[in-house]
Each structure stands twice: as structure tokens, then as C-alpha cells.
């Protein structure tokens, strides 16, 4: 029986272990259960395989060449696009100290070698059920969805920490979808998600959060000290990337030719990005609903401006 991810496709697993026989055994067993399995034989290869096409869950041996399992986990948890991906660690050393160290890194489970395949399958099913329920990941981009977004903002508000929330939305995306088709539109959504993650990662802070509200709407949870520089970078990088989304003739005229509801040809500007930045540097924020209202209001204002723009809330009351 095929195991399905939230997107309806096979659930994808990456397994990393430097013991070839065990790696082959786990791969065969998981594929017989209906999973889509890719493998790696060391920590660096595991990171490369995971980043090239993020899976639904990773199973990583603790002791591997080049990078051990804990180093792989630390790298993944510092990546805004991958920090919510479930990870199971395999180890012949099931000591209490190692398990504590793993839990502090954010590992979801710890399976002691020799691996009992029935137990491993049960743990995978349990973790996938839990992560899909809790994370509500977007099936197209694999970024955290609305459940995780609301939780992250609400937790930050509850601790009264510095908070900046960037609401991002693509301009003229419906016209683009109508002119280029939904498959091209999905590629723009995925490229935008990757661009946002790259920019957030390049900001040098592993604590920022990237989420996908749905459609062409994204969110970044950051801090006031970085918010404007990050917004400027996102606008500049999107303007640099956007021409590649369009056909030569559209780039030349600077317009998309689409149709209105009556079937008439209508020109629209090229796809751009609008960002509204809500924060608590000048006034307190008390609820998720308040943050959402202010962010949406600022984003709508940014959408009325030409090209890619950001609007920062500068009001003190």
C-alpha cells in the first residue's frame, strides 16, 4: 500500500548510513511499504540529497564520515526551509546522554541499533502523523503552513520579545497564471519560496521563520533590528529574478497580455512582490489577529505601488 504525503504523492524519505548492507535493507523494506526512498552514505551526501529535494522525513545514522548525525541535524535545524522536517537518529549507542543531546538539537526520535524494521516503520508512521497534524506544511513548497505560522507569532507575542512580521504577496499573479498556465505559476511560487529562504538564510540569523500562508502569500517572522534590511534584500532579489519568469516578448514590452472575464485582451504589469512589515519596535502588539490585520493592511498598500515594494509600519499609535 502506497504511503501518501499531504500533496497526494508518495511519502518521501531520505535514509543516511555508512553501513551499506543496513542501508540497502532499510531502503528495500521502506520501498516495499510504499515509500519513495533516497539514500546517502555519509553526512555531507545526506545534506546534499535532502537540500536538493526535501523529503517528508529523514533517517540519519549518528556515526558517519564527513559529518555525523548530530552535525547533519544541526545544519538542517538552522535552515529556515528545513528546520521543521522530522529526523530520526539511528545509533548503536543508545545512552541517556546521547538521547538528551539529540532531543536538545530537535531530533524527533532515537532508534537503537540493531534496527528492528517493524519498530522503525511504526515510529515513522507515528512521526509522520504527528508532523502532518502539527505542521500543516504547504504541499507545493514544503514550508510551514498556517498552523505553524500562528503558533510561532503567538509564542513570540506571549514572551514579549522583539517581533517583526513580513507579509509577502505577488502582484499580478492571477494575470500571470491566466497567460502562462498553472504549471508555470507553480514554478514561480516554488522559486519565490526558495528566494525567500535564501535571503533569510543570508541575513545571518538562524532564528528567523519562513512560512507559506497559501497561494502566492508568504510570511517571514524576524526581529525589528533586521526587518528593513531583509525587506530591501527581498525586493531587490525578486526584481533580479522576475525577468526569467516571463517570455522574451513580455519582458521587451514590460507587460503581460492576458484576458479579462469578457475574453478581451488586457495588459498587466510584470509579476512583482509586495511586502508589508508589521513590528513591535514602536508600539506593542498583543495578538495574532492584530498582527495579521496590520500586516495585511500594509501589504495592500504596497500592492498599490508600482513594481516591487515594501511598506514598513512607522506609526507609533
- Tell me if 221 sits within 8 A of 288, measured CB to CB: no
Cell numbers that stand for 212 in this block: 507559506
Q: What percent of the chain has pLDDT over 70?
A: 91
Give the separation between CA 52 and CA 70, rounded to whole angstroms: 20
Cell numbers that stand for 273 in this block: 512582490
Q: Is 218 helix (H, G, I), strand (E, B) or coil?
A: strand
pTM (2 d.p.): 0.68
E strand or H helix at 235, and its extent? helix 224-241
Domains in the chain and their CATH numbers?
12-134 (3.40.50.2300), 146-312 (3.30.70.270)
Q: For the beta carbon of residue 43, count every other beta carbon within 10 angstroms.
A: 24
Give the separation between CA 252 and CA 275, rounded to whole angstroms: 26
Cell numbers that stand for 22 in this block: 543496513
How do 209-214 and 164-171 pair as beta strands? Answer: unpaired
Please write the tens of the pLDDT for every residue from 70-80.
Answer: 999 988 888 77
Beta bridge partners of 150: none
Give the separation between CA 5 and CA 131, rounded to whole angstroms: 11
pLDDT of residue 7: 46
- Tell me if 163 sits within 8 A of 223, measured CB to CB: yes
From the list 32, 98, 268, 308, the residue with the least C-alpha distance to 172 is 268
Cell numbers that stand for 175 in this block: 494575470
Cell numbers that stand for 274 in this block: 509586495
Burial class (CB in 10 A: 0-12, 13-18, 19+), 56: buried
Please write the tens of the pLDDT for every residue from 186-240.
Answer: 999 999 999 999 999 888 666 899 999 999 999 999 999 999 999 999 999 999 9
Please write the tens of the pLDDT for every residue from 14-44.
Answer: 999 999 999 999 999 999 999 999 999 999 9
Amino acid at each position: 500500500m502506497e504511503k501518501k504525503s499531504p500533496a497526494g504523492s508518495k511519502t518521501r524519505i531520505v535514509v543516511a548510513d555508512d553501513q551499506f548492507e543496513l542501508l540497502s535493507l532499510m531502503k528495500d523494506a521502506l520501498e516495499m511499504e510504499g515509500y519513495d526512498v533516497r539514500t546517502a552514505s555519509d553526512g555531507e551526501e545526506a545534506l546534499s540529497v535532502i537540500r536538493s529535494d526535501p523529503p517528508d522525513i529523514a533517517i540519519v545514522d549518528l556515526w558517519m564520515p564527513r559529518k555525523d548525525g548530530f552535525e547533519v541535524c544541526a545544519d538542517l535545524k538552522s535552515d529556515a526551509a528545513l528546520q521543521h522536517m522530522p529526523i530520526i537518529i539511528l545509533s548503536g549507542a543508545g545512552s541517556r546522554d546521547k538521547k538528551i543531546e539529540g532531543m536538545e538539537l530537535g531530533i524527533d526520535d532515537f532508534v537503537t541499533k540493531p534496527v528492528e524494521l517493524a519498530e522503525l516503520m511504526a515510529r515513522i508512521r507515528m512521526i509522520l502523523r504527528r508532523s502532518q497534524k502539527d505542521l500543516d506544511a504547504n504541499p507545493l513548497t514544503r514550508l510551514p503552513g498556517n498552523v505553524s505560522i500562528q503558533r510561532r507569532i503567538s509564542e513570540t507575542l506571549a514572551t514579549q520579545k522583539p517581533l517583526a512580521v513580513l507579509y509577502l504577496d505577488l502582484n499580478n499573479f492571477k494575470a500571470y497564471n491566466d497567460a502562462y498556465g498553472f504549471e508555470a505559476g507553480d514554478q514561480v511560487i516554488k522559486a519565490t519560496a526558495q528566494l525567500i529562504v535564501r535571503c533569510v538564510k543570508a541575513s545571518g540569523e538562524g532564528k528567523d521563520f519562513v512560512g507559506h500562508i497559501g497561494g502566492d502569500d508568504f510570511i517571514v517572522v524576524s526581529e525589528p533590528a533586521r526587518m528593513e534590511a531583509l525587506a530591501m534584500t527581498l525586493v531587490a532579489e525578486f526584481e533580479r529574478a522576475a525577468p526569467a519568469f516571463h517570455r522574451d516578448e513580455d519582458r521587451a514590452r514590460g507587460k503581460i497580455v492576458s484576458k479579462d472575464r469578457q475574453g478581451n485582451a488586457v495588459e498587466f504589469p510584470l509579476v512583482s512582490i509586495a511586502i508589508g512589515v508589521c513590528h513591535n519596535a514602536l508600539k506593542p502588539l498583543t495578538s495574532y489577529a492584530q498582527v495579521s490585520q496590520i500586516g495585511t493592511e500594509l501589504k495592500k498598500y504596497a500592492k498599490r505601488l508600482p513594481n516591487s515594494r515594501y511598506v514598513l509600519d512607522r506609526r507609533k499609535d
